[in-house]
Structure 1
Amino acid sequence: MLENARGRKSSREKILDAAAELVSEIGAGRLTLDAVAERAGLSKGGLLYNFPSKEALLQAMIRRMIDQVTESREALRPQLKPGPNLEARLATTTLLNMCCDGKMQEIATGLMVATAENPRLLDPVREVISETLQRIKSDSDDDAALLGWLAVEGLSNLEMHNLSPFSDQDRERIVQAINRLLTKGIAS
C-alpha cells in the first residue's frame, strides 16, 4: 500500500479503497466518480487528477487486486518446500487462500459487471493467467501441475461467485487431493 512519509495513505490509495468499498456495496455498474470522491473525502478534481475516467479507476482496481495476489504468492514462496510443481503449488495455495477472503470476493464480483460491459478491463488478468501458466509449465514436466492448477481455478471461481455446490467437507477432500497430486515425490 502506498503511504507517504508520515504513514498516511496517498490520495490514490484512498480513492482505490473508497472505490472498492462502493463496488462491494453497489457494484461497478452503478459506481460514479462523484460517489468515489465523496467516499474518499476528496474533491472530484482530486480524483480526476489520479484517475481521469471511470475506466482508468476500474483498471487500477483490477491492477491492485493482481498486485495483492502477486504479493501473497511471493510471501508464500519461502514457506513451501522446494521440489516438483513449486509454481503450481504457489499458484494453487495463493488462490485457495484468497478466494475465501470475503472482501476480495465482493470486489471481484462487483467488478465482473464492469468487465461484461468492457471486456478489455480483463486484459491484465489474461496476461497474469498466461504468465502463471508459463511458470507452471516451465517448472514441471508432467500434467499434475496443470490439472491441479486448473482444478483450483475452477473451484475458486465457483466460490468467488457463490456458485460452489460443495460442502466444507467436500472442499477439504478436493483440496487434499489436489495437494497430494502436486506434492507427489516431495519428501515430507
Structure 2
Amino acid sequence: MARPSARNTLIDAALPVVEERGITALTLDAVAEEAGVTKRGLLYHFPSKHALLAGIHEHLAARVEQNLLKYAGKDPEEASLVERTRAYVRAATSTPSTVEMRLIMEAANEPEWMAPWERVYRRWFPEADAPVDELDELSMRCLVARMAADGSWGYESIAAAPMNDRARRRLADSILSALDGE
C-alpha cells in the first residue's frame, strides 16, 4: 500500500491542473510534471488516470467531511437536521475553489468516483432518500438551503468576479435565515 503522504502529494498536484486547465487537461503526464515526479513514480501510486481520479474523489470527499465536522462541531449522528444543514451551508459557501464542482460533475457518470461523495452526503443526510413531496416543512427548508449552497458553486464558476470571504459569509447567512428560530 502506498504511503498516504505520497498519494496526497500527487493528488494535491493534480488539483491545480484541473482548476487551472480543466478536467480534460488532467493527464498522468501533467500531474507528474506538476508534482515534480516521473510518470513511473506517479504510476506506482496510481496505475491509471481512472485510479488517480478515484483517489482525488476520495481525498476531496474526506476534505469536505472534515469541513462539515468543523462547522457542526460534532459528528452527524449527534447533530440535528438543522445543525447538519447549517454546517453544510457554511462548508459549501466557504469553499473558494470550483475544482470540487468540476470533478463532481465529471463523477456523475462514474459510480466509483461518485461513491465517496455519496457516502459523505448519506452520512450527513440519511433522510435524503425521502421523496421531496413527502418532506415536512422543516426538512424542505433544510433541503432548499443545501441546494442554494450548492448553487453558489455554479454561480461562482460563471461570475465575472469571484466572491470574497465576506461575500461568502453574507451569502451563507442569507441562505441560513430560512432556518432562523430552528
Q: Same fold (TM over 0.5)?
A: yes
Give aligned-pair identity as a percent.
25
- In the TM superposition, residue 110 of structure 1 has moved relative to its aligned partner by 2.6
Q: Which aligned pairs between 1:98-117 and structure 2 lie closer than 5 A? A: 98-103=92-97, 106-112=98-104, 114-115=106-107
Task: Give the Cα separation in 2 of the matches to 1:78 and 1:86.
Answer: 12
Q: Residue 87 of structure 2 aligns with which residue?
A: 93
- In the TM superposition, residue 38 of structure 1 has moved relative to its aligned partner by 0.6
Task: Give the Cα separation in 1 of the matches to 2:7 and 2:25.
Answer: 21
Q: Residue 147 of structure 1 aligns with which residue?
A: 140
1:109-146 superposed Cα distances (whole Å, 9 cap, x missing partner): 33145325x43221322233233222789xxxx83552
Task: Give the Cα separation in 1 of the matches to 2:171 and 2:17.
Answer: 33
Contact (CA 8 Å) 1:69, 1:94: kept in 2 or not?
no
**In structure 1, which of residues 109, 118, 132 is the aligned counterpart of residue 124 of structure 2?**
132
Counterpart residue type for residue 146 of structure 1:
S
Task: Tell me the C-alpha RMSD between the 2 structures.
Answer: 3.3
Contact (CA 8 Å) 2:18, 2:99: kept in 1 or not?
yes
Task: Give the Cα separation in 2 of the matches to 1:52 and 1:18.
Answer: 16
Counterpart residue type for residue 124 of structure 1:
P
Q: Residue 71 of structure 2 aligns with which residue?
A: 76
Q: Residue 159 of structure 1 aligns with which residue?
A: 152
- In the TM superposition, residue 44 of structure 1 has moved relative to its aligned partner by 0.7
Task: Give the Cα separation in 1 of the matches to 2:117 and 2:154.
Answer: 17
Partner SS state of residue 152, structure 2: helix
Task: Give the Cα separation in 1 of the matches to 2:29 and 2:171.
Answer: 44
Q: Which runs of 5+ in 1 are unaligned?
A: 184-188
Contact (CA 8 Å) 1:14, 1:40: kept in 2 or not?
yes
1:43-85 superposed Cα distances (whole Å, 9 cap, x missing partner): 1111111111111111111111211121122233447xxx9x6
Q: Residue 119 of structure 1 aligns with which residue?
A: 110
1:12-32 superposed Cα distances (whole Å, 9 cap, x missing partner): 121111101111011212211
Q: Which aligned pairs between 1:22-37 and structure 2 lie closer than 5 A? A: 22-37=17-32
Contact (CA 8 Å) 2:71, 2:91: kept in 1 or not?
no
Greater Rg by CA: 1
Counterpart residue type for residue 36 of structure 2:
G
- In the TM superposition, residue 171 of structure 1 has moved relative to its aligned partner by 6.2
Q: Which runs of 5+ in 2 are unaligned?
A: 130-134, 160-166
Task: Give the Cα separation in 2 of the matches to 1:135 and 1:76.
Answer: 20
Partner SS state of residue 102, structure 1: coil
1:84-120 superposed Cα distances (whole Å, 9 cap, x missing partner): x6244134323333333112xx21233145325x432
Contact (CA 8 Å) 2:82, 2:142: kept in 1 or not?
yes
Counterpart residue type for residue 49 of structure 1:
Y
Counterpart residue type for residue 142 of structure 2:
W
